[in-house]
Chain A
Amino acid sequence: MDYLLQALLSFLATACFGVVFNAPTKAIPYCGFVGAVGWMVYYVLFEYGLEEVQASFLGAFIVAIIAHLFARRYMMPMIVFSVSGIIPLVPGGIAYNTMRNIVELDYITGLQNGMRAFMISGAIAMGLVFAEVIMQLLFRFMRKGKTSMQSFVKAKRPR
């Protein structure tokens, strides 16, 4: 029941972020879906005792893979689906606590929280990049012979 509620709430929240970021109207439900899956991965892993950093990494990884599949399916750039999908994972609360600690002149705790926020946002970005690279390698492997990103990059600078 708790999981269902979390999934529903994260779906609604990320779909609303799709509206704020002005995603095309027909993409908004998919934005919500991507966000809900990412948050559920994070939430379940966190419940089962994984650290925030690893859970955020895996959440962002799944978000990017689904966003990549949707991007191919619906012929839209991947960024449309991944941007709102990672919003629930962004360490807003920890960043807020950092600011609060610094205002209260508790610099040591502030530094600790700041490092945590930095680690988590780095993990999210790494999850996104890794997923993208893996998907690209996979698709390149699947349709050898056609023009791929790498052959394109090589072709652009004739020597």
Chain B
Amino acid sequence: MINNEQNEMAIDCFLLAGRIMMESGAETYRVEDTMLRMARSQNLGDAQSYVTPTGIIFSLGKTQPTRITSISLRITDLHRIVLVNNVSRKLTSKMITLEQAYDELKQIEKTNYFLPIIIQVLAASIASSCFLLLFNGMWTDIPAAFVAGGVGLYVVTIIHEMTRVKFFSEFLAALVVGTIAYTAVNFGIGTEIDKIIIASVMPLVPGLLITNAVRDLMAGHFTAGMAKGAEAFLTAFAIGSGIALVLSF
């Protein structure tokens, strides 16, 4: 009986670790690998896991319980991946017990590790201005790209928090970016509308999703690869249609 309770606890712990990693944008194979390593360190060598971007199925073996967890939210939060990785490393090298690991994971799940929004917006602005120059833009276009990049990220973050519909927020952000670029060029602050738009949508582009999708496909995780590919395509489509709406006027 005690053994069963321990197993329940172990599954809870592994599923929580997998869910946090998947929600933060880790690769599928890394999530599977982490969960199985943690299971093996607890002498549960028969464990099996099946990870997709929308849910995780985890079993401890033939006669043991199987549990699933669903994943509804996916963002990019590298800090959390690092923290979960550290917990798993400590658990596998027997530096902490399962209970301590579970508590730490709970703590990681609750805490918000994001920097203040103002710093993120500033970073997006600087990145956009740098990309403008990397793509052979003109120095005089920097103010427009600076404003458009920052506002784009701000809009996508705020609307996503309000509506929880990812594609709507991306569409709206692209629309705002396009409008700012168009206005800037119309009022003579900028010259090349194409360069300004390309540079300032860079913070929204699903680069991580595309590469993760192809990489999952190559590793044989076809479900995960296709799902991430679909997500990346929808994101790109949302951005594209937002920009297209502005350009067509």
Contacts and interface: CB of A to CB of B under 8 A. Distances in A.
Given A77-B81, A90-B210, A20 B205 contact: no
Interface stretch (A9-17, A47-55, A137-145): A9-17
Interface stretch (B5-13, B114-122, B159-167): B114-122
Contacts of A129: 214-215, 218-219
A22 B207 CA distance: 15
Contact of B82 (A77, A88, A97, A124): A77
A95 B124 contact: no
A92 B198 contact: yes
A125 B214 CA distance: 6
A77 B81 CA distance: 8
B86 to A, nearest CB: 8
A124 B211 contact: yes
A9 B130 CA distance: 5
Interface stretch (B50-58, B63-71, B94-102, B241-249): B241-249
26 contacts: A9-B134, A16-B123, A17-B127, A17-B203, A19-B115, A20-B120, A20-B203, A21-B76, A22-B77, A22-B114, A22-B115, A27-B78, A77-B30, A77-B81, A79-B25, A87-B205, A88-B134, A92-B201, A96-B197, A97-B194, A100-B194, A103-B248, A125-B215, A129-B219, A156-B36, A158-B46
Given A77-B82, A93-B135, 15 more contacts: A12-B127, A13-B126, A13-B131, A20-B153, A22-B113, A27-B82, A86-B207, A92-B202, A96-B194, A96-B198, A97-B194, A103-B244, A125-B213, A125-B214, A129-B219
Interface of B: 25-27, 30, 33, 36-37, 40, 45-47, 76-82, 85-86, 89, 113-115, 119-120, 123-124, 126-127, 130-131, 133-135, 153, 194, 197-198, 201-203, 205, 207-208, 210-211, 213-215, 218-219, 236, 240, 243-244, 247-248
